[in-house]
Structure 1
Amino acid sequence: MTQPFRLLLRVRYGECDAQQVVFNARYGDYVDVAATEFYRAVFGSYQALLEQGLDSQVVRMVTDWSAPARFDDVLQLEASTLRLGNSSFTLQVDIRRHSDQAAIARSEITYVMVDAQAFTKTPIPEVIRAQLERGAPDVTVNQAG
């Protein structure tokens, strides 16, 4: 059975708040790191996208929380393409505690494909669309140390 793209991250002390859980704004950082690593796995590198004259800009991000993450937890972020539009696409990032697979949060992050020079909206080219549809199954990036 194929697994979605996975990124493993360890929660650092400085990412926690006064309640001793991961501060809510840090989840945006985690999702951004997962999306960047997903890009690397799907396109070869972020630079490879730029070399095609393309870039992407975040236009929406929504996170729903289920449980807290705490200092030293290893988080497993699973990224996959949820939706593909004409010029936009949405990634879904599920965040789980790696040790017991408990659901922590789910984020949806929507990007608009833009011309890398003019920063104007542009349709997603078919080759990029196919890469996003395929995703990066069975790829795990371990940054948990």
Structure 2
Amino acid sequence: MSVHQFRVQVFYEDTDMGGIVYHANYLRYIERARSDWVRRLGNDQNAMRDQGIVWVVRRIEAEYLATAKFEDELLIETTVRDISGVRLTMDQVVRRGDQVIFTASVLAVCMNAAGKPVRLPAEIRAKLVPTGA
């Protein structure tokens, strides 16, 4: 799966006093998209947690390019940029129609119950292919 797509409808509760999507909600939108993507890859996050492994976002670099408003339909695209033994870097783009309104680079790692990084499970790594590969 090279590009995962996930749609979000903007609700009134997502907006601020100015009637535009509150900036922190973009992080929620891209999180929902990543969760859906991981689930569609067949990764059972509950089973991982039962084994003592969880996904953790280590860093997000975000750029707000335009605003979204109440009732806009947004499309979030997620692609893998890079993968190593313990790190997964994804690019996420939020679009309203053809217009890119938000971009983010997300670095995620797997952690054990003690809070230490662990290698990405082999069955997950096998399903992840960087876009440029």
TM-score normalised over the length of structure 2: 0.86
What runs of 5+ residues in structure 1 fail to find an aligned partner? Answer: 136-145
Inter-CA distance 51–42: structure 2 relative to 1 (3 Å threshold): farther
Separation in 2, partners of 1:125, 1:45: 12
Question: 1:96 is matched with which residue?
Answer: 95
What's the secondary structure of 1:132's corresponding residue? coil
Share of identical aligned residues, percent?
Answer: 24
Aligned 8 A contact 1:43 1:49 in 2: no
Q: Which runs of 5+ in 2 are unaligned?
A: none
Q: Contact conserved, 1:7 with 1:78, CA < 8 A, in 2?
A: yes
Deviations 1:41-68 (A, max 9, x none): 1134322433554211111112112211
CA shift, 1:122, in A, is 0.9
Are 2:7 and 2:74, in contact at CA under 8 Å, matched by a contact in 1? Answer: yes
Deviation at 1:132, TM superposition (A): 2.1
CA distance in 2, matches of 1:49, 1:43: 12
Task: Name 2:58's counterpart in structure 1.
Answer: 59
In structure 2, relative to structure 1, the CA distance for the partners of 1:91 and 1:49 (3 Å cut) is: farther
User: Does the CA contact (< 8 Å) of 2:88 and 2:109 recur in 1?
Assistant: yes
CA distance in structure 1 between the aligned counterparts of 2:41 and 2:116, rounded to whole angstroms: 23
RMSD: 2.1
| Maintained 8 Å contact 1:77/1:93 | yes
Task: Return the offset for 1:106.
Answer: 0.8
Give the distance between the partners of 2:24 and 2:79, measured in 1 at CA.
Answer: 21
> 1:81–1:133: 8 Å Cα contact kept in structure 2?
yes
SS in 2 for 1:94: strand
1:110 counterpart residue number: 107
SS at match of 1:68: coil
Secondary structure of the 2:46 match is: helix
Q: How far apart are the structure 1 equivalents of 2:109 and 2:76?
A: 22
Pairs within 5 Å for 1:1-145: 4-97=3-96, 100-115=97-112, 117-133=113-129
